[in-house]
Homo-oligomer: A and B are copies of this chain.
Amino acid sequence: MSERADVKRQLILDKATEVFAAKGYRSVTMKDIVEASGISRGGLYIYYDSTEEIFLDVLKSIDAWEDEANKNMVAKLKEAGSAELLLWFLKEQKKEILKGKNNLSIAMYEYAFACRQDGKNSGAKHKFETAALVLEKILARGNENGEFDCEDPKAVASNMMYAIEGMKVMAGTVGISEKKVDKELVYMMRQFMEVED
């Protein structure tokens, strides 16, 4: 029953995602996931051999989801207004920032840090670069159709993503208010478009 197994794996992934969001990467034990997912110790080992394997699968499923979202956004570049797309993009980023102490950023950084020597791919780089690229395309398109005035979309996108990354991390650790996030986003938008307060 491959389907049955998939359902189980999905259940494990869902619960594990919560655990990683709540505890980070390193301090998560198989026991934590066993308890969160409500299956037995041995049962978990049928599907996954280590927390790392589970974490990588969590990342993969998130990646899949994000790639899909990014693809959709790029597809809409021609039809939709750039400002509209930008707002949607930033809203997503904001949502992720504000998940704050319950998002996966810290876990991802812990993991990336833990295996920085092993040449393992943590996905963090890909995630960052993909988002930057999407943002760059939105800006470039907005330039073309006159919605934005942005000399160097690549540079602006890169800078914005670093700042957003910084906010994610701060949010995940010491916290950040929604108002503060809005302020930052508006500040950044003003560099290439008019924003009312």
Q: Taking beta carbons and an 8 Å cutoff, which residues of A are in contact with B?
A: 24, 26-27, 101, 106, 109-110, 112-114, 116-117, 122, 124-125, 128, 152, 155-156, 158-159, 161-167, 169-170, 172-175, 183-184, 187-188, 191
CB-CB nearest in chain B for A155:
B187
Given contacts A106-B109, A188-B159, contact A116 B128 (CB under 8 A): no
Given contacts A106-B113, A155-B187, contact A162 B172 (CB under 8 A): no
Min Cβ gap A125→B in Å is 4
Q: Which of A110, A164, A175 has the most CB of B within 10 A?
A: A110
User: A-B pairs with the 7 shortest C-beta distances?
Assistant: A165-B166, A112-B173, A162-B166, A166-B166, A125-B174, A162-B163, A163-B163
Q: Are A159 and B173 in contact (CB under 8 A)?
A: no
Contacts of A155 in B (CB 8 A): 183, 187
Alpha-carbon distance A174/B26, docked complex (angstroms): 17
Q: Are A170 and B165 in contact (CB under 8 A)?
A: yes
Min Cβ gap A148→B in Å is 16
Q: Are B159 and A124 in contact (CB under 8 A)?
A: no
Q: Are B174 and A163 in contact (CB under 8 A)?
A: no
Q: Which of B27, B110, B117, B184 contacts A159 (CB 8 A)?
A: B184
Q: Are B173 and A162 in contact (CB under 8 A)?
A: no
Alpha-carbon distance A188/B110, docked complex (angstroms): 28
Q: Given A26-B27, A159-B163, output 10 extra A-B contacts at Cβ < 8 Å.
A: A24-B114, A26-B26, A26-B110, A101-B113, A110-B110, A112-B173, A116-B174, A158-B183, A158-B184, A162-B170
